[in-house]
Amino acid sequence: MAPACVSILGAWLSTLFICFTPHASLLQFAAATIQGYIGDIDMTCPSVCRCDEDFIYCNDRGLSSIPSLPPSASVLYLQNNHINNPGLPTSLERHLAVRVVYLYDNELDEFPMHLPPSVRELHLQDNNIRTIPRSALARMPLLEKLHLDDNSISTVSIEDQAFADNPRLRLLFLSRNHLSSIPSGLPASLEELRLDDNRISTIPTHAFRGLTSLRCLVLDGNLLANQRIADDTFSRLANLSELSLVRNSLQTPPVNLPSAHLQRLSLQDNALTHMPRGSLDGMRRLQRLDLSGNNLTTLPRGLFKDLDNLGQLLVRGNPWHCGCNLRWLYDWLLARGNSITVRGLTCHGPDRVRDMALTDLSSEMEECEVVRTAGTKDRVGIGGAESSTTNTPPQGSLFTLRSKRPGLGLPDSGLDYTLSSSGVGKSLALNVKPLSHSSVRVTWSVAQPSSSFRLSWLRLGTGNAMGSITETLVRGDRREYLLTSLQPGSSYIICMVPLPASSESKGAVSGDADSDEALVCAKAETSDLSPLEEEEGEDSHQMTTLPMAGIIGGASAIVSLALIFGVFCWYGHRTGHLCARDHYTRNSSRKSKSYDDYIESGTKKDNTILEIRGPGFQMTPMAACQPMQPKPLREDYIIHTIFPSNGTGLYKGANHASNAGHGTNRGYREGGIPDIDYCYT
């Protein structure tokens, strides 16, 4: 029986195998089909877009919302559409392959909230975003580059610690917004920060605290001035390699600029008037310096002493005065040769070299005599243009003098002398040049730095007469001073002495023997007024006198009219032209009399006289006085007869009864009483 059971069990197993083998094949085929269908769905590109592998191009389609995207998308081009915040689907958060999103030039008015957390680079410029909430940025912890240019973001609309959850943020663009100060709480990982074309006017000390990785800082087109920038603001940026301060209101470069790694420095289109000596010290890696569009006329010697790697020098748009004051720059550029590119170093003066490049003034620079000794004693001159290192009189209008301190005695104008040094080894070269009939430009150079300079000038009168001496203290970093409001056609003695620290603490007037020995003087003569300038001066004087003459004439005319009007009123009052006003005054005075006035005068007001009960008289004032007749001294009244209603009259005789029909006037005449009689009061 056992063999029979075994044979039956084998038959059953064979049947089961035959039945289930086709079903397994069907299941395997179905699984493969479904998997392929799902793969096809993953790679489906939106019909309104164009796809190139994982790059999805939906830009410039007029979209108001983001269409369904394939899960494999990594770069989304959605710019130049009409996408607003409701057009960002929440399903966008689940696209974890997205790395870069371009959403600029859309209609977003809030920071987008449903972006994938895998985003590394986000472009949101040219929208109307007003706030930067921390919660929105916290959803993108891997964010490295954020572009928010051309929005409506203000300093107060950036939430505190808004970037605290973005430790990888390296680039932040906030150009052309409404910022009034540097945003706080910037991440320490930041390497490039652009804040150009905002309203930033002040930079405090702590503005860039902790930004040790910052390499590029752009602050163009703001409201920055030297007085509103803290001294050590930029010194904290030790790794800064590019600094741009274009289109601000700087008069000198900011102090304590980072010099270790700085390669590009842009200061064009400011109000720079001078570059202090030492402002570029230590910038051995500087490759590009732009000083275009300022008011620079010269550069101090030694300004470029550390700029060994400078390859581009852009200085166009400055009124350069190419005297011997720039001989050192000429030599420096000549030594550098083709290793440096210079743009815009064109002379604005003197007239003989106007519109010429400094590097082309070889013959003019040879005229500059340079004497270098241990004390660095320089005397240089170009033809007729003396400068801070020259001794040659410019155009015959400058000569040097030996003198004691201004105010203690008149310098001897007949003695020329070479520049002398003080007891401490300091030397000074002084240059004065008349610029106009009322201004003189004073420039100087010294061998050693000085804390300050005492500048004095004295106007010489006719003969031995002297004018008053004017003195001022000039900062030690200055190398130029402009004297204005001077008298035309006058001679001035201008003296300068460097003051050491000890002398400055004692005051501007006090000094020691060393300061007296270091005194250097020069003489300048202002030009006479030209006929055109005199005519303009007379015209301006006439123009200034016209308003006063007009005021005086107008006041006189008003007073005259008032007097004439007063005389007219007085004469009219006398002749009666104003009697209507008098009549009004009388009527007003009568009407103003109240019932109490009658009681006080002992007279009871009685209205019964208005009722005619018997014959009587009515006395009325005469008509207005005749024109152009003198007003009478007494009032005239006319007496009229008042008849009762029954027609009877007063003073009628018996013989008149039968003649009643002849009229009342006739009865009065016959009674001996005229119709109208006068009564004077």
pLDDT score of 413 more than 50? no
**Arithmetic mean of pLDDT over the chain:** 74
Is 405 among the domain residues? Answer: no
For residue 663, the model assigns a pLDDT of: 44
Task: Tell me what the mean pLDDT of segment 166-174 comes to.
Answer: 96
CA distance 82 to 515: 75
What are the structure tokens assigned to 439, written together?
A: 């201004």
- Cβ-contact 268, 293 below 8 angstroms: yes
- pLDDT tens figures, 300-349: 999 999 999 999 999 999 999 998 889 999 999 999 989 999 999 999 98
pLDDT score of 151 more than 70? yes
Task: Tell me what the mean pLDDT of segment 10-19 comes to.
Answer: 50
For residue 42, the model assigns a pLDDT of: 46
Task: Report how far apart, in Å, the C-alpha atoms of 47 and of each of 42, 44, 50, 51, 67 are.
Answer: 14, 9, 8, 10, 9
Is 490 among the domain residues? Answer: yes
Is 14 among the domain residues? Answer: no
pLDDT score of 141 more than 80? yes
> 272 Cβ partners below 8 Å, 6+ apart?
250, 251, 252, 253, 291, 294, 295, 296
pLDDT score of 670 more than 50? no
Q: What are phi and psi of 673, to 5 degrees?
A: -115, 120
For residue 176, the model assigns a pLDDT of: 96
- pLDDT tens figures, 623-644: 544 445 555 555 666 665 555 5
For residue 59, the model assigns a pLDDT of: 93
Lowest mean pLDDT among 205-209, 290-294, 409-413, 623-627: 409-413
For residue 289, the model assigns a pLDDT of: 96
- pLDDT tens figures, 24-45: 444 343 444 444 334 444 458 8
> 99 Cβ partners below 8 Å, 6+ apart?
74, 75, 118, 119, 120, 121
Q: What are phi and psi of 195, to 5 degrees?
A: -130, 30
Tally the C-alpha atoms within 13 A of residue 161's C-alpha that lie toward its C-beta: 4
For residue 501, the model assigns a pLDDT of: 56
Task: Report how far apart, in Å, the C-alpha atoms of 648 and of each of 616, 617, 638, 658, 665 are.
Answer: 11, 14, 22, 12, 12
Distance, C-alpha 475 to centroid of its chain: 27
What are the structure tokens assigned to 355, written together?
A: 């519109």
Q: How confident is the model at residue 366 (pLDDT cuts 50, 70, 90)?
A: confident
Q: How confident is the model at residue 367 (pLDDT cuts 50, 70, 90)?
A: confident
Number of C-beta neighbours around residue 468 at 10 A: 8
Is 432 among the domain residues? Answer: yes
Task: Report how far apart, in Å, the C-alpha atoms of 489 and of each of 431, 464, 561, 623 are.
Answer: 19, 17, 49, 82
DSSP string, 254-323: PSS---SS--EEE--SS------TTTTTT-TT--EEE--SS------TTTTTT-TT--EEE--SS-EE-S
Specify the pTM: 0.53
- What percentage of the chain exceeds 70 in pLDDT? 63
Is 220 among the domain residues? Answer: no
Is 443 among the domain residues? Answer: yes
Q: How confident is the model at residue 120 (pLDDT cuts 50, 70, 90)?
A: very high
For residue 106, the model assigns a pLDDT of: 95
pLDDT score of 182 more than 60? yes
For residues 512, 515, 517, 519, the Cα torsion angle rounded to the nearest 10 degrees is: -140
- Cβ-contact 287, 312 below 8 angstroms: yes
Q: How confident is the model at residue 676 (pLDDT cuts 50, 70, 90)?
A: very low
For residue 421, the model assigns a pLDDT of: 35
Q: What are phi and psi of 50, to 5 degrees?
A: -125, 135
Q: Are strands 171-173 and 145-147 parallel, antiparallel or unpaired?
A: parallel
For residue 542, the model assigns a pLDDT of: 56
CA distance 142 to 134: 14
- What percentage of the chain exceeds 90 in pLDDT? 40
Is 477 among the domain residues? Answer: yes
Lowest mean pLDDT among 98-107, 118-127, 251-260, 613-622: 613-622
Is 474 among the domain residues? Answer: yes
Task: Tell me what the mean pLDDT of segment 9-25 comes to.
Answer: 47
> 642 Cβ partners below 8 Å, 6+ apart?
612, 615, 616, 617, 618
Q: How confident is the model at residue 507 (pLDDT cuts 50, 70, 90)?
A: very low
3-state secondary structure of 340: coil
CATH code, domain with 453: 2.60.40.10
* Number of domains the chain contains: 1
- Domain span at residue 437? 422-500+518-525
Q: What is the DSSP letter of 221?
A: T
